[in-house]
Amino acid sequence: MESTLQFQLRITVASGLADALRADPTGASHAALRDVLRRHNAALKCQFDAFADYVSEAEKLGTENYPLYQWTRETIENPQKKAKYLQSFTVYMNGDEIYGKRIADEMEIDLLKLVSEDGIKSVARFDTNPANNPQPPKR
């Protein structure tokens, strides 16, 4: 039986690669990564940029409908956290930020082959089980 859990992969990259990926998320600056992304119909989104987009949207549409607004705003305004999230990228597969186990497994195998000190530092896997993830802060 297929697990009902969904998964998300994230990569942490060296600062120079992070700058290049933020400018061009297709991975053109890292040929092996670009090839893996193409093969899996995947794209990257910098987590800092995703957080900043969330804050911007909440401020436009009303923060009361965005339970993570305050936490996210504080995160992007904190210099240490900003530095961390500027080097962290979420892997979107077929346009989705979460996906099935088989898809995550295949992509993770390919990404782990690219880990090196001058490029991709690590690959992390997250799942949708609330017990394994921090919950939104209480208001």
- Write down the pTM of the prediction: 0.90
**pLDDT value of position 3:** 64
Exposed, middle or buried: residue 67 (CB in 10 Å: 0-12, 13-18, 19+)?
Answer: middle
Tell me: the pLDDT tens digits for 54-95?
999 999 999 999 999 999 999 999 999 999 999 999 999 999
Q: How far apart are CA 55 and CA 10, in angstroms?
A: 21
Tell me: the pLDDT tens digits for 30-39?
999 999 999 9
45 φ, ψ to 5°? -135, 125
CA distances from 29 to 21, 37, 113 (A): 7, 12, 17
101 φ, ψ to 5°? -60, -45
Side by side, which strands form the sheet with 120-127? Answer: 42-46, 88-93, 7-13, 120-127
